[in-house]
Amino acid sequence: MKAIPPAARAYIGCALLGAAGCVLPALRPGAQTPWTAVALLAALYAVCELPTHCRLLGRALGGSAPMGAGSFFPVLLASALLLPPAAAALTALPGALLARVERRPAGVRRAWRTAQLVIAVWSAALVAGALHGDLALGRGPRPPDFPYVLLPAAACALTFCLVLTALDGGVRTLAERVPPRTAWHGLGRALAPHAVHGLAGLMMAVLWRSTYGPVAALFVLLPMYISCWVFAQYHRERAAHQATIRALVQAVDIKDRYTRGHSERVGRASMLIARELGMEEDRLEVVRFAGILHDVGKLGVPTRVLRKDGPLTPEERRIIELHPEYGHEMVRGIGFLGEARSAILHHHERMDGSGYPYGLSGSQIPEFARVVAVADAFDAMTSTRCYSRARPVEKAVAELERCAGTHFDPRMVRALVRALGRHGWSTAVTSDEPGPPPPGVPPTRAPGGRADGVVAPRRGRA
């Protein structure tokens, strides 16, 4: 379990105090809080979240219950339109406390999620009230004021989205040390789903206030729940893809025992570089896949060649240099990999055109391939192999900078240097990886005179 930095804990504590300040006015004597509506909406939101928390209900739904509080934001947005700010904030409490927490520490994360939702609902209700959303909704036989009612509904959804994104970006910056630009970069993508949730919340609020009463508002949730179920199915499929990727990586690690763990570390280093470059979140996942699978083509290389301790013959070197093409063929049919396929094919190309398999140079080399090339070489230099002793990070970085412009894209090298300065680097060594040579015994040099896998990688293994 990774410890939460003190600054992040202080930030979460301030959020909890802010959330308490949001709900306290509704609890004061004489506050005239509409407790019936609060209880109904809070119970409805909690019931919607219950299948994600209860394993029995999740299995009853085929293991595909919608996950996360975001599935049922329409209930919270309807509360923001129907109730005063403090009362609306109360409706988020039970469901937020019931929502599933995937990562530890669960208690801190659940408290944070609760505070975040309470503040967001309170802010949305405050904005909706300022725009007279309560009057625009109508009541009983009095119809809603269309199209004006769309304005408070849109402002409510926008405020909810902005507050959630701002709070989430703040905690990511402090807890994960993500650059602020990256932490708040997902705002544009969050607007569209929140707009849909806002429309569904408006429909709920209009039906709630109509002559049909609160029961009619439940019909809005049925199509929302079905759409969330479909989305959960998509996540299950994605999890199956990731399991396939893990199986491929394990097969490579078993076949080439001297690079065990290398693929995972290259994926991690590739993500560090991509984050520093400000790539979109969806591309970050793909570049991680590219790093993890960059050597999958080794499954097509004879084991005797991969594990050969002595120098390779020219024919054996040509066989090794086919592994990027083998890997590309293996993953060609996996559609969700996207740009990762080109990175697998071209991660041994060099900026000066002296690489393989096609001798591409400069900007001809795909961006992901340039990222993976730097991550691959860096891990090769900082990991202990049977033929080389691990170099210190500083010396590995100096070697990358020396080769920037000829072998590697200087922009990618600079991004890695910044990321290492921000996050550091640790190399996980498995129990069956060979240790460093005894003192006084020089490391075995690779064919071509280098042991680091940068200028003349040993048998193309880096």
Residue type for 106, please?
A: A
359: left (phi over 0), alpha (psi -120 to 50) or beta: left
Task: Answer whether 0.85 is exceeded by the pTM.
Answer: no
Phi and psi at residue 168, in whole multiples of 5°?
-65, -40
Tell me which residue of 3, 255, 230, 186 sits closest to 105, measured CA to CA.
3
Question: By percentage, how much of the chain surpasses pLDDT 70?
Answer: 82
Highest-confidence segment of 242-251, 297-306, 370-379, 437-446: 370-379
For 50-107, what is each residue's pLDDT tens digit?
Answer: 755 544 444 444 444 444 445 678 899 999 999 999 999 999 998 888 877 767 778 8
- pLDDT bracket for residue 187 (50, 70, 90): low
Q: Indicate the range of 156-165, 166-175, 340-349, 361-370 predicted with least confidence.
A: 166-175
Give the confidence band of 258 by pLDDT, cuts at 50, 70, 90. Answer: low
Q: What is the pLDDT of residues 97-142, one digit of tens each?
A: 887 776 777 888 889 999 999 999 999 999 999 999 988 998 877 8
Does 429 have pLDDT greater than 50?
Answer: no
State how far the Cα of 393 lies from the Cα of 35, in Å rounded to an integer: 61
Q: Flag whether pLDDT at 460 surpasses 60.
A: no
453: left (phi over 0), alpha (psi -120 to 50) or beta: left
pLDDT confidence bin for 200, thresholds 50/70/90? confident
Return the structure tokens found at 49: 């979240």
Q: What is the pLDDT of residue 30?
A: 87
pLDDT at 192: 80
CB atoms within 10 A of CB 36: 9
Minimum mean pLDDT among 5-9, 55-59, 76-80, 282-286: which range? 55-59
Residue where the block lists tokens 């992040």: 8
